[in-house]
Amino acid sequence: MEVESNIGVSLSSSEPVNTIIPGSVPLSLGSFLGGRSKKPSILDSQRVVYLTSGRMAIAQALMLNRICEGDEVLVPAYHCSSMIAPVKHSGAKSVFYRILPDMIIDLEDIEQKLNDKTRLLLVAHYFGFPQPINALQKLCTDKGIVLLEDCAHALFSNYQGKPLGSFGDYAAGSLMKFFPVNDGGVLTANTAHNLQVQTEPGGREFELRCALNTLEKSFIYNRLKTLELLLWIPLKIKNLLWRWLKSQRGESHAERSPAASDGGFDFQPRWINTRISAFSLRISRMVSTNRIIDRRSSNYRWLSNALADIPNFRRLHPELPEGVVPYIFPIIIDQVDPAFINLRRMGVPLLRWEFLDEEVDSNTCKNSHYYSRHLVQIPCHQELHQAELEWMVDNIRHELSRHNQTG
């Protein structure tokens, strides 16, 4: 059960990457400093179910509404596979709607795709920025379809004084994108909709993996040095034992924890009803949400200023509106390769959603097709040190400048 060295980096090549900077959130002593925010979020909902990941929350929403073969679900053409896999598992057909250049969804295209088979509309608040949720809420109410807000990127974002996720019939969120945990997803529902979900524990090995993986990731990035020294011998013994168990079990060992916990995008039905690990739930309730909100916002604004003047480069959202708590800092690079690949090999934890569903091409949505290649996500999470932010910016600036000169 060793944490892989490329945590936080999405690879499209087989080249090894030793990540220098954490792309996802490691646990640190500072995680607990700053107190709990009084600003409401979907985590404050009175009707919430905790699962292992956001994709399982989406799957549960589909199951609760008995969406199955013969039904249609409207999903964004720009997506990661975690949004689409639960729909495929349900047997329903994914109908892809367009996004506009600013990544606001195309309401006209949605209306044109509605028919008698349409059962649910999945709306993603990309990177923490709100979609036109009031208009979507009215559309779904008028047409009698379920509105599911994907708040994986918007766990703490507000719109018009209300948390994103409180507008739709259901909302799905991902704790792993904002908290220093190895697993965790949430599903909420408004009072008019069913949220009777029977969850079950993942077992002792799952619980142990989640706790140890969280600690090991922090050790990799030098966040808990004292604790690492104290646990060095037990963890070495554990790694040897885990390798032996893996060799005995073979491929079945991969099912001992959800793919989402290891940064994968696979959909594993056996985890649909599994509740969040006790360790991850406890950590999510202990760490400072003020720190999450404040430092992510501060890091986002710093990155926006630091990256403002690079040629052939565009900030998708240069400003951070009131109420938005960002997941990452999104940029658009016209001549993205080989700079993107080179930066990842250097250890800069960049990400892009380059693998859209096979049904999506430039004819389906030219903006989604373009962004799958050119929209790059830079981490701005609360556990990044200032020196790490500066190192990322220096390398991004150098690599893009070098590529622009040679190109």
Containing domain of residue 333, as a range? 289-403
- Give per-residue pLDDT as tens, 180-209: 999 999 999 988 888 999 999 999 889 988
- The secondary structure element, H or E, covering residue 147 is strand 146-150
Looking at the fold, whether 154 and 296 belong to one and the same domain comes out as no
- The answer to the question of residue 283 being in a domain is no
Pairing of strands 146-150, 185-189: unpaired
CATH classification at residue 55: 3.40.640.10
- The answer to the question of residue 95 being in a domain is yes
Residue where a domain stops, chosen among 167, 189, 211? 189
Percent of the chain with pLDDT over 90: 72
The pLDDT, as a whole number, for residue 401 is: 84
Looking at the fold, whether 50 and 169 belong to one and the same domain comes out as yes
**Rounded Cα–Cα distance for residues 296 and 176 (Å):** 15
Which of helix, strand or coil describes residue 288?
coil
**pLDDT class of 9 with cuts at 50, 70, 90:** very low
Q: What is the mean pLDDT of the segment spanning 270-276? A: 94
**pLDDT class of 249 with cuts at 50, 70, 90:** low
Q: Phi and psi dihedrals of 324, rounded to 5?
A: -90, 125
Helices (H), 231-277: 232-249
Which DSSP state fits 2?
A: P
- Give per-residue pLDDT as tens, 84-100: 999 999 999 999 999 99
Residue where a domain stops, chosen among 172, 189, 206? 189
340 pLDDT higher than 90: yes
Which residue, chain included where needed, has tokens 């949605």?
110
Domain count, the chain: 2
Q: Phi and psi dihedrals of 252, rounded to 5?
A: -60, -20
- Give per-residue pLDDT as tens, 116-175: 999 999 999 999 999 999 999 999 999 999 999 999 999 999 999 999 999 999 999 999
List, in sequence order, every residue forming a beta bridge with 99; answer none if it has no partner.
105
212 pLDDT higher than 90: no
- The answer to the question of residue 333 being in a domain is yes
57 pLDDT higher than 70: yes
- The answer to the question of residue 210 being in a domain is no
**pLDDT class of 224 with cuts at 50, 70, 90:** confident
Residue where a domain stops, chosen among 133, 160, 189? 189
Q: What is the mean pLDDT of the segment spanning 230-243? A: 62
Looking at the fold, whether 47 and 183 belong to one and the same domain comes out as yes
**pLDDT class of 303 with cuts at 50, 70, 90:** very high
- The answer to the question of residue 30 being in a domain is no
CATH classification at residue 312: 3.90.1150.10
- The answer to the question of residue 50 being in a domain is yes
**Rounded Cα–Cα distance for residues 210 and 312 (Å):** 41
- The answer to the question of residue 231 being in a domain is no
Chain mean pLDDT for the chain: 88
Pairing of strands 93-97, 313-315: unpaired
